[in-house]
A and B are shown apart, each in its own frame.
Chain A
Amino acid sequence: MKRNVWLTVFAGLIVFGLVGAVMVLTKGHSVFGTTDYVPWGILISTYIFFVVTSTGLCLISSMGHVFGIEPFQFIAKRAVLLAIVTLLAGFAVIGLELGQPLHLFWILLSPNPTSAIFWMGAMYSLYLVLMIVEFYLLMRGQHDWAKKAGLAAFVAAITAHSILGSIFGFLHARPFWEGPYLPIYFILSALISGTAILIVMYFIKEKDEMPSAIVPALTKLLMLFVGISIFFSIWKVMTGIYGHPYGKYEAFQALFSGPLSWSYWLFEVGLGMLVPVIVLLINRSRAAVFWVAATILVAIFFMRYNLVVVGQIVPLEVIDVSTSVAYLHFYRPTWVELSIVAGALGFTGFAYLWGEKKFNLNVSGHNKAVKTT
């Protein structure tokens, strides 16, 4: 009964997303809030959000069925299924964000090896294939082969996701993004997302008698990763404001007190860093852990939005670095962009619930299966 309610909600979101998809496919990017000055908007950050979730699920669930850490072994099938679903949702979002998705075959006919987007496309496609193979093998109970596929997917996930970070890191024209920070940070961010979403999934499926040992383990991991993320963020801020470097300093002003300040203080710093640390320090009850994990997922969505938008709203200094400009470019998502975001979330929920019904995900006894084979 409850399941049907959720399916209806998710189906509604998908329909809303399809309306947005039709809008953009017929009218082009004029229905987006993006401009020539801010060409990448919320759909890029949403794409990153989905693939960061998929990557994180792959990395954290690998601890169980690839690296053999006991408490993680019971969630493998669910994690791999959701990783595939979130990756497909991400692909749908980026497909609608492309101005000419039908031209995509040129990436095969005329690939440019110096383009990070080419490598990202190649690696995420490989990752998708490996995850599907892994899921198939897990369902067949062929755990030895699933482990090998899982290891390959683990390597592909780290490669693909750091390449996604490098898409930004390679842009010497964009001071906020440029450098080795983002490829590294993206992997950390995937670990947070993966841990948080596994906690959420565990509590939603609690009735199915998964071992409760996984919760303290995941909670400790979550605290560790959030702590590292605070450490990363502090040094990103410090190097960005020390000496007022052009492009970085203005970007942080936009985050601290400019157009993105609500999203930065409330979501990125508040819900993404301070609330998890404070709550987990004073209360580690099951409910608290669940809500912290859910909160972090929401916060990561806004973190990606901040990262993508703030890198572009500071005007490029085209003439000379010494004559900085005292304004910011404007970007606000339109309802069409938000509908595609909603549709992708609906697709994730719907496809996951469908998959859960379709496949038997409960019998996950890794060791047991190995013994019987």
Chain B
Amino acid sequence: MARYVMVVDTTKCVECYACRVACQTQNSLPPDKSFNRMEVRENGSFPNVKAHAYPLQCQHCDNPPCQHVCPTHATYKRPDGVVLVDPKKCIGCKYCMTACPYQARVFGKDQVAEKCRLCVELLEQGIKPACESTCMCNVRTSGDLDDPKSPVHALLANKKIVQLRPDHGTKPRLYYIV
């Protein structure tokens, strides 16, 4: 059984938003909706300041609040770790949208609460997700923790790794290099 994770190297990101465009194309999303979002933080004090871009999306938590609050099990977690939404079960109550600490949910044109699927249909075939393959700086790296050859191991071992808001106890599957 695969254990999919994604490592996001924020130090390489130049904020070109190509990932967002690729995601919107891959998922046929309208211009004002995206499963991908960018947040910028400025650190330091003048003159030593640095802008830091964080590409954000569903963190595919191992303890996903959106799954716990969903009244119909429309949000579910696959054994390989990917959190998905079954649109036919979603009643559109938007509880998951208020429960997610990462602001990852998007209310789509089908009137259901959608989000990043980690392009799981591509991942299963060994193809990279759209946001990853389009990135010119290799910011994102997806992989299977159970696959010893996966490049994610080296990234997770060598750099300074953080998870977003670990205090919420959500145990995200996305790791950020900062």
> What 0/1 pattern do residues 108 to 138 of B give for CB contact below 8 A with A?
0111110000000000000000000000000
Give chain A interface residues in 81-134, CB to chain B under 8 Å. Answer: 98-101, 103-104, 106-107, 109-112, 114-118, 121
Chain B residues within an 8 Å CB radius of A319: 39, 41, 54, 164-165
A311 to B98, CA, bound (A): 9
A316 and B103 form a contact (CB under 8 A): yes
Residue with the greatest number of chain B CB neighbours at <10 A, chosen from A36, A104, A321: A36
Known contacts A111-B71, A319-B41; A39 and B107 CB within 8 A of each other? yes
Measured CB to CB, the nearest residue on chain A to B10 is A319
B71 and A318 form a contact (CB under 8 A): no
B97 and A36 form a contact (CB under 8 A): yes
Contact of A28 among B89, B95, B99, B111 (CB under 8 A): B111
Contact of A107 among B91, B98, B106, B164 (CB under 8 A): B91
A37 to B33, CA, bound (A): 12
A110 to B88, CA, bound (A): 12
CB A249 to nearest CB in B, in angstroms, measures 18
B91 and A173 form a contact (CB under 8 A): no
| CB of B94 within 8 Å of the partner chain | yes
Chain B residues within an 8 Å CB radius of A36: 33, 97, 103, 105-107
Chain B residues within an 8 Å CB radius of A189: none
Contact of A39 among B65, B98, B164, B167 (CB under 8 A): B98
| CB of A323 within 8 Å of the partner chain | yes
Summed over the interface, the residue pairs from A and B with CB atoms below 8 Å come to a total of: 130
Known contacts A172-B101, A173-B99, A173-B101; A100 and B107 CB within 8 A of each other? no
A115 to B105, CA, bound (A): 18
Measured CB to CB, the nearest residue on chain B to A318 is B102
Known contacts A99-B90, A171-B99; A106 and B111 CB within 8 A of each other? no
A103 and B90 form a contact (CB under 8 A): yes
CB B59 to nearest CB in A, in angstroms, measures 9
| CB of B74 within 8 Å of the partner chain | yes
CB A31 to nearest CB in B, in angstroms, measures 12
Give chain B interface residues in 138-178, CB to chain A under 8 Å. Answer: 164-165, 167-169
Measured CB to CB, the nearest residue on chain B to A317 is B165
| CB of B19 within 8 Å of the partner chain | no
Tell me the dominant secondary structure on chain B's binding face: loop
| CB of B72 within 8 Å of the partner chain | yes
Chain B residues within an 8 Å CB radius of A203: none
| CB of A265 within 8 Å of the partner chain | no
A115 and B70 form a contact (CB under 8 A): yes
Residue with the greatest number of chain B CB neighbours at <10 A, chosen from A28, A37, A106: A106
| CB of A312 within 8 Å of the partner chain | yes
| CB of B93 within 8 Å of the partner chain | yes
CB A113 to nearest CB in B, in angstroms, measures 10
A100 and B91 form a contact (CB under 8 A): yes
CB B76 to nearest CB in A, in angstroms, measures 10
Interface residue tally for chain B (C-beta within 8 Å): 41
| CB of A167 within 8 Å of the partner chain | yes
A317 to B102, CA, bound (A): 8
| CB of B50 within 8 Å of the partner chain | no
| CB of B3 within 8 Å of the partner chain | no
Known contacts A112-B73, A319-B41; A173 and B112 CB within 8 A of each other? no
A114 to B69, CA, bound (A): 6
Contact of A100 among B71, B103, B112, B167 (CB under 8 A): B112
Chain B residues within an 8 Å CB radius of A318: 39, 54, 56, 101-103, 164-165
A318 to B69, CA, bound (A): 19
CB A22 to nearest CB in B, in angstroms, measures 15
Chain B residues within an 8 Å CB radius of A173: 65, 98-101, 168
Chain B residues within an 8 Å CB radius of A116: 69, 95
Chain B residues within an 8 Å CB radius of A121: 71
A107 and B94 form a contact (CB under 8 A): no
Residue pairs across A and B with Cβ atoms less than 8 A apart, 26 shown, are: A29-B92, A29-B111, A36-B97, A98-B93, A99-B112, A100-B90, A100-B112, A107-B72, A111-B73, A112-B70, A115-B69, A115-B70, A115-B95, A116-B69, A116-B95, A117-B71, A118-B71, A170-B99, A173-B100, A173-B101, A318-B56, A318-B101, A318-B102, A319-B41, A321-B165, A323-B41
Known: A99-B93, A171-B69. 10 other contacts (CB 8 A): A39-B107, A40-B98, A100-B112, A103-B90, A106-B91, A110-B72, A112-B70, A115-B68, A171-B99, A321-B165
